[in-house]
Amino acid sequence: MKAVLQRVSEASVRVDGDIVGEIGSGLLVLVCAMQGDTEANADKLAAKVAKCRIFQDDAGKMNRSVQDIGGSVLVVSQFTLAADTVSGNRPGFSRAAAPADGERLYEYFADQLRALGLTVETGRFGGDMKVSLLNDGPVTIPMEF
C-alpha cells in the first residue's frame, strides 16, 4: 500500500457539498491499495502511521506521534498514488488494486487505525471528494508497504 501523510492543524473532506469527514490536529492520510496488497500490508502501514514521530515535542523536535498527541486521522482513498509516469504524458493507473480490493483494504486500514486507539474519519471511496487541509509545517511524508 502507498500512503502520503500530511501533518495538519485541521482537515475535512466533502462529497456533494456535505462534510463526510473532518478532524482537528492530526494526520490527513491519502492511501492507495496496490495490486497484490493484502491485509498484512495494511497492518504494517497502520502501525507505522500511528507511531510515526512527526509532531513536535516540548523542545520543538519532531519526536511525537499522532497517538502521543491524542490527534485524529482523516483517511482518504486516492488511487492516483499508483500513477505510472515513466512513459508519455498521461499517467497510467494499472498498478492500483481493483476497485473491490481497494475499497476492502481502504476500510480495513481505517479499522486498523481505530483498533490502535486512534479517532479516525474517512472520505468516501470512489467519491468525487473535495479535500481541504491546513498543512502544519508543512510536513508531508510518503510511505509504502
* DSSP element (H, E) containing 72: strand 72-77
Sole residue written with cell 495490486: 35
What pTM value is reported for the model?
0.96
- For the CA atoms of 142, 51, 132, 31, the dihedral, rounded to the nearest 10 degrees, stands at 50
The residues carrying an active-site annotation are 78-80
Range of the domain at 81: 2-144
Query: pLDDT (tens digit, 9 = 90+) per residue, 23-58?
Result: 999 999 999 999 999 999 999 999 999 999 999 999
Domain count, the chain: 1
Q: What is the CATH number of the domain that holds 99?
A: 3.50.80.10
